[in-house]
Amino acid sequence: MEMKSEIAHSSTEYQKLFHKLARIKYVNEEDGFTIYKNDSLGTIVSYGNPDTIQCGIGDYLIEDDFSIEYQYDTQFLHFGIIYAGVTYSVKDGDIIAQSIPSSFMSLEKMDRGIGAWRAKQHFKGIEFSINYDYLVNSLLPSIGRSISEFNFFRINTRYTILIPEITAVLSKLEGYMQNRIMTEHIAQAAAVELVELLLSPPSRKLFSAEGDKSLRTIKAGARDIKINSEDLRKINQVHEIIMSSAYEFKTIPMLAQEVGISEQKLKYGFLDYYKQTIWDFQNNIRMSRAAWLILNDSDTFEEISKAVGYHSQTAFYNAFKKWCGLSPGAFKKLQKSHRESL
């Protein structure tokens, strides 16, 4: 099936096109919250607007491949936590993974490019963005700060390692969005708090980590474990290994030995930095692929289970049912029925 494509000339148009192509339609607006929903695919809730401060949460499934080309200039400070789902960019005809499950921060300048979403991916997360003009002209002057203080990180670089205080604010905002208690003043206060935390000494140290200095201490059960820059590099390396070989059976001991890190540092460090276990991260990639293969309707369930790294069809069946709440057969039947009704 050919990938559907659209062109956006503004950030507002970009959001409208995304909801259209994702088939998650506008439902209503109440107390500043805008609700988008598709009963079979999921829900997106947003608050605020892209010209100042905007916060959004989502939990949904992408049904078909699609892409959006953006042809406009915009810049914003972007924070978030992605629990599930991978978005892509299209460069020179190649589809490249752009955002992966993790917490993140970036100062993004968009002028031209193509974002892409692949079918059968489950997305869940929270995003909080501050418009660059609003940041420079309103927010920073109000707290006695200037944009020159942001010179310790690069534009258009997604940083996935943040101090825990930043992710704690994002988690708190996620709760406000879920319970519909976000307000304009809360959003403004959160923007100030996130900026101040980003500019704090511990955060600066994290962004400009040197040598083997300890970056932070994390809990491993009742023990404290110190993570340094070399440990962090190895944890990121494991993340990349899983991304490129998620369908191969690799245990934590195998991965730890491959990159040269202790099993405890890998296990708890990965959980701390990526907000999910190694197993959950790998399994989400496997199951997303399995869902696509099931709907592609060319392989048997036994062939699919082997293709995504399961040697036992029963183990695959149980893992898939735990992942989406339906057995592979029920999932296929439901999606087929949904498509026939369109």
Would you kindly state where each structural domain of the chain is located, as residue ranges? 4-207, 214-275, 281-341
Residue 187: how many CA atoms within 13 Å on its side-chain side?
23
Question: Is the pLDDT confidence value at 1 over 70?
Answer: no
Residue range 281-341 forms a domain whose CATH class is mainly alpha
Identical fold between 214-275 and 281-341: yes
| DSSP at 3 | P
Taking 50 as the threshold, does the pLDDT of residue 66 lie above it?
Answer: yes
CATH class of 4-207: mainly beta
The structure tokens listed for 248 are 């191969």
CA angle 316, 317, 320 (to 5 degrees): 80
3-state secondary structure 43-58: EEEEEECCCCEEEEEE
67 neighbors 14 (Cβ within 8 angstroms) = no
Look at residues 311, 298, 305 and name the one whose alpha carbon lies nearest to residue 328: 305
pTM above 0.75, yes or no: no
pLDDT of residue 123: 87
Residue 103: pLDDT band with limits 50, 70, 90: confident
Query: Model confidence over 16-61: pLDDT tens digits?
Result: 999 999 999 888 888 899 999 998 889 999 999 888 999 999 999 8
The matching CATH number, chosen from 3.40.225, 3.40.50, 3.30.450, 1.10.10, for 214-275 is: 1.10.10
What's the pLDDT band for 212 if we cut at 50, 70, 90? very low
